[in-house]
Structure 1
């Protein structure tokens, strides 16, 4: 930010624009890390499905089990 404030926009217009863009960029890469974490969870689920593919499953039991788990979001109607 100090470089942005000390840069003269009339003398160095391109550098001033680059500094403004740089000031708006995020500092961390948390979104990329979050997406990799979600991908890892999905791959673990797919691996479990592949490993236990020979098991007989009843869709009603699975739906009941998933419905019993608490939800992260509460919907207000």
Structure 2
């Protein structure tokens, strides 16, 4: 049954839930309030990514070294 095998293969690749996507949209909704409706896309994306990935620990010295061309 090649058709059933193909369908099951496709089904196995589908995510079990869309919770991550829903959380991302919820974050965007909180960030883009009426007061911030004039915010450009790049800034909104940056704020959303910072909020979504806020649990990642950052090494401030490494960030400074990468951002400062004199220290490279």
TM value normalised by structure 1: 0.42
- TM-score w.r.t. the length of structure 2 is 0.44
Which of structures 1 and 2 has the bigger CA Rg? Answer: 1
Structure showing greater relative contact order (alpha-carbon pairs closer than 8 Å, 6 or more residues apart):
2
